[in-house]
Amino acid sequence: MIEEKFASGQSFIHKLDPKTRIVAVIILSFAAALCDIFFVAVLYFIISTVLIVMARLNRKDVIERIKPVFWFLLMIWILIPITFDGQILYQFSWLKISGTGVILCCKITIKSITILLLFTSLVATMSIASLGNGLHKLYVPDKLIFLLLMSYRYIAVIEDEYKKLLRAAKFRGFRPKTNLHSYKTFAYLAGMLFVRASFRAQRVHQAMLCRGFNQKFHSLDIYQANRFNFIFLIGISAAGLSLVILEKIWI
């Protein structure tokens, strides 16, 4: 389940310093999130697809990855046009479809896909360890990075525990249904998960102390400082800034 599908690659994006990529994704995502004009949002969408192409990711995997968003967008497309006020596009007895609502839906669709593509191309293309490294260089508190790396490391372990517990329940003839017994079983299962997590944490902590853990992780990734990082960041900032200015002039 937990796999860093995009983290290994040889593209230009993969070779950029994590720090550069984090800053770039923050600038572009917020600029895209705050944009209010459909045409400008399309430009951000184009930038994000260019980045995806540059990262040379498997297209099928990328589409697979943004699938959950389509369900959400479907819900939006059903809900908003009929509940929104404003200019009426089409009226079918009591059902009014609002034009403003439809425009809003278009904007939301393109913006959410854009932001997800940006995140996929720039952040999902690094390992969690590199992400931690990048965040550290950006002065994010060490404790938070510790939490991130540590809980990432143990998700797979805890998931194994969950599968073990579920398997044991199934061997005993448990079939999930809509009744109190099923809920109780799942509650005990979740409870056991927390108990095992806590025990595991004690053992891990003791083991780390035994090995002289001094509250620091050292990264083995070495990214060469080269001018491409700088140029990339300048390029991204210039693109973001010019689109923001374009939007201001437009209004």
Question: Among residue numbers 26 through 55, which ones bind other proteins (CB under 8 A)?
Answer: 26, 29-30, 32-34
The pairs formed by 6-9 with CB atoms below 8 angstroms and a separation of 24 or more are: 6/55, 6/57, 6/61, 6/120, 6/124, 6/125, 7/124, 7/125, 7/126, 7/127, 7/130, 9/55, 9/56, 9/57, 9/125
- Least distance (Å) between residue 81 CB and other proteins: 11
- Least distance (Å) between residue 79 CB and other proteins: 5
Considering the complex, state which of residue 76 and residue 246 has its C-beta at the smaller distance from other proteins.
Answer: 76
Instruction: By CB under 8 A, tell whether 154 contacts other proteins.
Output: yes
Query: Which residues in the 89-108 window bind other proteins by CB under 8 A?
Result: 100-101, 107-108
- Name the one residue in this structure whose structure tokens are 């809980």: 151
d(CA 145, CA 165): 30
Considering the complex, state which of residue 180 and residue 220 has its C-beta at the smaller distance from other proteins.
Answer: 180
- Name the one residue in this structure whose structure tokens are 């404003």: 86
Instruction: By CB under 8 A, tell whether 201 contacts other proteins.
Output: yes
d(CA 116, CA 70): 12
Q: Which of 14, 19, 21, 65 binds other proteins (CB under 8 A)?
A: 65
Instruction: By CB under 8 A, tell whether 245 contacts other proteins.
Output: no
Instruction: By CB under 8 A, tell whether 218 contacts other proteins.
Output: no
d(CA 211, CA 235): 45
Q: Which of 89, 97, 189, 246 binds other proteins (CB under 8 A)?
A: 189
Considering the complex, state which of residue 184 and residue 226 has its C-beta at the smaller distance from other proteins.
Answer: 184
- Pick the piece of the chain touching other proteins (CB under 8 A) from 23-31, 49-57, 87-95, 238-246: 23-31
Give the total of residues touching other proteins (CB under 8 A).
Answer: 84
Instruction: By CB under 8 A, tell whether 8 contacts other proteins.
Output: no
8 Å CB contact between 229 and 17: yes
Q: Which of 158, 174, 217, 219 binds other proteins (CB under 8 A)?
A: 158
Q: Which of 60, 172, 177, 248 binds other proteins (CB under 8 A)?
A: 177
8 Å CB contact between 239 and 31: no
d(CA 92, CA 6): 47
Please report, as a single letter, which amino acid is at residue 142. D
d(CA 221, CA 243): 34
- Pick the piece of the chain touching other proteins (CB under 8 A) from 51-59, 60-68, 218-226, 233-241: 60-68
Alpha helix ranges (H) inside 16-141: 18-34, 38-54, 59-83, 99-122, 128-137
- Pick the piece of the chain touching other proteins (CB under 8 A) from 51-59, 196-204, 229-237, 240-248: 196-204
